[in-house]
Amino acid sequence: MASSYLEIDRCNLKPLSLTSLCACQHRPSSKTLVFSRPSSKFKLKLAINESRVFVRTRQVQVRRFCIAATDGQILEPVEEEKEEESKEEASNSHSSEKIDGLIVKKKSSSQGSQLKKRVVFGLAIGIGVGGVVLAGGWIFTVAVTAAVFAGAREYFELVRSRGIASGMTPPPRYVSRACSVICALMPILTLYFGHIDVSVTSAAFVLAMALLLQRGNPRFSQLSSAMFGLFYCGYLPCFWVKLRCGLAAPALNTKIGAAWPILLGGRTQWTVGLVATLISFSSIIAADTYAFLGGKAFGRTPLTNISPKKTWEGAIAGLSGCIATTLVLSKIFCWPTTVLSAAAFGFLNFVGSLFGDLIESMIKRDAGVKDSGSLIPGHGGILDRVDSYVFTGALAYSFVKAFLPLYGV
Residue-wise pLDDT tens digits, 204-225? 998 999 898 888 788 888 899 9
Higher pLDDT, 123 or 327: 327
Distances (CA, A) of 288 to 67, 187, 356, 383: 72, 26, 12, 15
* pLDDT of amino acid 277: 96
Indicate if the pLDDT at residue 26 is higher than 90: no
* pLDDT of amino acid 268: 78
Residue 261, judged by CB atoms within 10 A of its CB (0-12, 13-18, 19+), counts as: exposed
pLDDT tens column, 134-181: 999 999 999 999 999 999 999 999 998 877 877 788 888 999 999 999
Cα separation, 357 vs 353, whole angstroms: 6
Phi, psi of 273 (to 5 degrees): -65, -40
| Range of weakest confidence among 71-80, 292-301, 343-352, 398-407 | 71-80
Residues 96 and 156 in one domain: no
DSSP assigned state of 310? -
pLDDT tens column, 370-395: 888 777 776 678 998 899 999 999 99
This prediction's pTM: 0.70
Indicate if the pLDDT at residue 332 is higher than 80: yes
Residues 50 and 129 in one domain: no
Mean pLDDT across the chain: 76
Residue 223, judged by CB atoms within 10 A of its CB (0-12, 13-18, 19+), counts as: middle
Rounded to 10°, the helix 137-159/173-193 angle is 160
* Domain assignment of residue 27, yes or no: no
Residues 96 and 151 in one domain: no
Q: How many residues does this entry show for the chain?
A: 409
Higher pLDDT, 267 or 227: 227
Domain edge (last residue) among 51, 82, 105: 105
Identify whether the C-beta of residue 155 lies closer than 8 Å to the C-beta of residue 383.
yes
Residues 148 and 173 in one domain: yes
Residues 209 and 269 in one domain: yes
* pLDDT of amino acid 59: 44
DSSP codes, 261-301: -GGGTGGGG-BHHHHHHHHHHHHHHHHHHHHHHHHHHH--S
* pLDDT of amino acid 376: 72
* % of the chain with per-residue pLDDT over 90: 39
* pLDDT of amino acid 199: 81
Instruction: Compute the Cα dihedral for 277, 295, 368, 121 and give only its sign.
Output: positive
Q: Mean pLDDT throughout 222-242? A: 93
Using DSSP's 3-state secondary structure scheme, residue 131 falls into helix
* Domain assignment of residue 5, yes or no: no
Indicate if the pLDDT at residue 2 is higher than 80: no
Q: Mean pLDDT throughout 258-277? A: 84
CB half-sphere exposure, 23, CA atoms < 13 A = 6
Residue 336, preceding bond cis, omega within 30 degrees? yes
Using DSSP's 3-state secondary structure scheme, residue 152 falls into helix
| Range of weakest confidence among 42-51, 132-141, 311-320 | 42-51
Residues 224 and 98 in one domain: no
Instruction: Read off the pLDDT band of 239 (50, 70, 90).
Output: very high
Residues 283 and 329 in one domain: yes
Residue 157, judged by CB atoms within 10 A of its CB (0-12, 13-18, 19+), counts as: middle
Q: Mean pLDDT throughout 86-92? A: 41
* Domain assignment of residue 82, yes or no: no
Cα separation, 5 vs 69, whole angstroms: 10
Residues 97 and 141 in one domain: no
Buried b (16+ CB within 10 A) or exposed e, 265-285: bebebbbbbbbbbbbbbbbbb
Residues 171 and 319 in one domain: yes
What residue numbers bound the domain in which 393 lies?
114-408
* pLDDT of amino acid 115: 66
Residue 25, judged by CB atoms within 10 A of its CB (0-12, 13-18, 19+), counts as: exposed
* % of the chain with per-residue pLDDT over 70: 69
Other Cβ atoms within 10 Å of 293 Cβ, number: 15
Indicate if the pLDDT at residue 328 is higher than 70: yes
Q: Mean pLDDT throughout 305-319? A: 92
* pLDDT of amino acid 79: 42
* Domain assignment of residue 35, yes or no: no
pLDDT tens column, 97-118: 444 444 444 444 566 666 677 7
**Which residues are registered as beta bridge partners of 49?**
52
Cα separation, 386 vs 24, whole angstroms: 57
Residues 230 and 101 in one domain: no
* pLDDT of amino acid 179: 93
Q: Mean pLDDT throughout 314-339? A: 93
* pLDDT of amino acid 236: 95
Identify whether the C-beta of residue 24 lies closer than 8 Å to the C-beta of residue 8.
no
Higher pLDDT, 30 or 332: 332
* Domain assignment of residue 71, yes or no: no
**Residues 260/263/267/268 CA torsion (nearest 10 deg):** -150
Domain edge (last residue) among 105, 134, 160: 105
Residues 96 and 235 in one domain: no
Radius of gyration of the chain (CA): 33
* pLDDT of amino acid 405: 67
Cα separation, 244 vs 251, whole angstroms: 13
Identify whether the C-beta of residue 52 lies closer than 8 Å to the C-beta of residue 106.
yes
Tell me how many domains the chain contains.
2
Helices (H), 50-172: 110-135, 137-159, 162-165
Q: Mean pLDDT throughout 273-291? A: 94
Nearest to 283 by CA among 199, 150, 392: 392
Other Cβ atoms within 10 Å of 38 Cβ, number: 15
| Range of weakest confidence among 46-50, 265-269, 289-293, 395-399 | 46-50
* Domain assignment of residue 244, yes or no: yes
Residues 134 and 100 in one domain: no
Nearest to 273 by CA among 234, 240, 236, 322: 240
Domain edge (last residue) among 105, 136, 157: 105
* Domain assignment of residue 362, yes or no: yes
* Domain assignment of residue 353, yes or no: yes
